[in-house]
Amino acid sequence: MFDHWDINDLYKAIMALGAGIVLGLERELKDKAAGLKTISLISLGSALFAIISYNIGQPNNESTRIASYIVSGIGFLGAGVIFRDGVNVSGLTTASVIWLSSAVGMSIGFGLIYLALLFLGISIILIHFGSIINSLFPDYKISRILTICMEKEMSGMRQLLIDKIKPFLDKIEERRIKVKDDKMYIFYDITLKNSRLMEFENLLLAQKEILEFEL
């Protein structure tokens, strides 16, 4: 027994592909891990799963239960593009776009076209104009990795140095130490107010025991 052809499924496929292209284009232009092809395939695949779930699960009223597994699967894909670099976390926006493209594809697959278009439009505004919105609300605090280089024989001055710079910081946590030849490199995770960054840099420059630093 073969299923019957429904032209609406073709329209859904085209719309899901278009939504994926729109969402993935910005990631592609920024050379992210998940670009245009990946986001488009996720949107298209989610739409297909939704169509299958609707057609198969409708008689038993189980279409939503079947489609719920799409959410779990997309979670694994999103987690794959998130990685931590010191105190910073990268890939969160790309993972969010993956999540959203799947949701839009599912909405199209279930026939909720206007709902999908609404959220697609909102997401385009956030993705393409997010930097402008962020500039209106500058970060109050920033997190950085501070690397300090000292003479190895000056290691006893570490605590004194920390006591000098600690009043400028909201948080300081020593991560690791690397010794090379007669030099010692100390790596710290720090958090400070954005307004005090330049003042903090000048303080580090004034410390004679610091041979070099990276912030």
Block residue for tokens 């670099």: 85
Q: For the residues 100-115, what does the mean pLDDT come to?
A: 89
22, part of any domain: yes
Q: What is the pTM of this model?
A: 0.62
CATH number of the domain where residue 168 is located: 3.30.70.260
Residues of the domain holding 124 = 7-136
* pLDDT at 183 > cutoff 90: no
- Checking if the pLDDT of 1 tops 50, the result is no
Q: 């001055």: which residue's tokens?
A: 157
| More confident: 118 or 127 | 118
Count how many domains the chain has: 2
User: How confident is the model over 170-189, as a mean pLDDT?
Assistant: 83
Pair (58, 79) in one structural domain: yes
Structure tokens at 41: 């395939």
Q: Domain boundary residue among 90, 110, 136? A: 136
Same domain, 80 and 107: yes
Can you read off the two tokens belonging to residue 115? 């709902």
Report pLDDT digits (tens) over 114-126. 998 999 888 888 8
- Residue 1: inside a domain, yes or no? no
Q: Is 138 exposed, middle or buried (0-12, 13-18, 19+ CB in 10 A)?
A: exposed
**CA neighbours within 13 Å on the CB side: how many for 8?**
9
Q: Are 119 and 183 in contact (CB under 8 A)?
A: no
- Tokens for 188? 């710290």
Domain endpoint, select from 136, 156, 182: 136
Residue 50 lies in a domain: yes
Q: Within 10 A of 124 (CB to CB), how many other CB atoms are there?
A: 15
